[in-house]
Amino acid sequence: MSWLGAGIGAGIGMVVGGPVGAAIGAWVGSSVSRKPGSMGMHDAQAAQTTFFVALFSMLAKMAKADGKVSSEEADVVNHFAKNMLNLDAEDRNAAKDIFTNALNDDYSIYDYAKQYQQITHNHQMQEMIYRLLFSVAFSDKQLHPAEDEILKEIPAHLGLDASYYRILMDEFRGQSTDLSACYEILGCTPESSDAEVKKAYRKLCMEYHPDKIGSKGLPEGFMKFAQEQMHQINAAYSSIMDSRK
C-alpha cells in the first residue's frame, strides 16, 4: 500500500503545524483525489508522512539553492523516489506536488530541518536526509557556494554533529576519510580503549540492524540507506583497528 494512499488523517496538518503542516495542507489542497479526514492515521503512518513531506520539501530547497533546478538534480530525486523508496505512481505524484510546492513557498530549508528534528528525534532519518542533500548538491558535478553553505549549516538544524559535513564531503569528493573522521563516525576518540571502540561499533551495528529498522516503522527503502551506513561504519572500524596493530 502506498505511504499516503490511506488518506491524510483529519487535522494532521494542523497538529503538525509549521512548514511541514503547511506543506501537507498545500499538497492536500492541490489534489482533487484526496479527501482529508476520510481515514485516521496510525503513529507509524504519521511518522512516514512527516518524513515524506519534510524530505521532498528539503530536497526542493537544495535543488533551487543555486537559482534553478537542473535536470541532474531532478533525476536524483526521481531515482530516489522510484528506486530507493519504491514509491508507487500515486506517491511519486504526491512527492512531485510536495517538491513543487516547496520551490515556491516562503519557508527556508532550515525551517523544515528544524521542525523535522523537533518532531522526530530520529537520528538515522536525519542522517539519511543529510546524505540525500549531498546527493542533490553533487548531482551536476559542481558544488555551488549556496549549496555548500547549506551543507555546512544544516547539520545543526537537523540535530547532527558538525563533523558529518567533513565526513560526507570527503566521501562525495572521492577522498579517503582520515582516521580522525573514523573516530567521529563511531563516536570515539583516539584515547578510547580497544574495548570502548568495539562497544561503540557494536552499538551502531545494532542501530542499523534490519530488525531494528523495521521496529521503528521506517519505510522499506530505508534499508538501502542503512546498508550504506553500515558500509561506512565497518570501514571506519577496520581503519581504526588496523591503525592500532
- Going by pLDDT thresholds of 50, 70 and 90, the confidence category of residue 100 is very high
What's at 189, amino acid-wise? T
Closest CA to 203 of 123, 121, 117, 125: 123
pLDDT of residue 50: 79
Residue tagged 483525489 (cell numbers): 33
Tell me how far the alpha carbon of residue 63 is from its chain's centroid.
14
Q: Flag the least confident range among 37-41, 67-71, 88-92, 138-142.
A: 37-41
Closest CA to 134 of 177, 164, 101: 164
Share of the chain above pLDDT 90, in %: 32
- Going by pLDDT thresholds of 50, 70 and 90, the confidence category of residue 143 is very high
Q: What is the pTM of this model?
A: 0.76
197-212 tens-digit pLDDT: 999 999 888 877 766 6
Asked if residue 1 has pLDDT above 50, the reply is no
> What's the whole-number mean pLDDT along residues 44-57?
79
Categorise residue 116: left if φ over 0, alpha if ψ from -120 to 50, beta otherwise.
alpha
Greater confidence (108 vs 29) lies with 108
> Where do the structural domains in the chain lie, given as residue ranges?
1-173, 176-245
Asked if residue 36 has pLDDT above 50, the reply is no
CA atoms of 228 and 243, how far apart (whole Å): 23
pLDDT of residue 35: 45
Asked if residue 153 has pLDDT above 90, the reply is yes
pLDDT of residue 11: 45
1-173 folds as: TerB-like (1.10.3680)
Q: Which of 3.50.50.60, 3.20.20.300, 3.30.465.10, 1.10.287.110 would CATH assign to domain 176-245?
A: 1.10.287.110
Greater confidence (132 vs 41) lies with 132
- Intrachain domains 1-173 and 176-245 with the same fold: no
> What's the whole-number mean pLDDT along residues 145-155?
97
Backbone angles phi, psi at 86, to 5 degrees: 55, 40
pLDDT of residue 57: 95
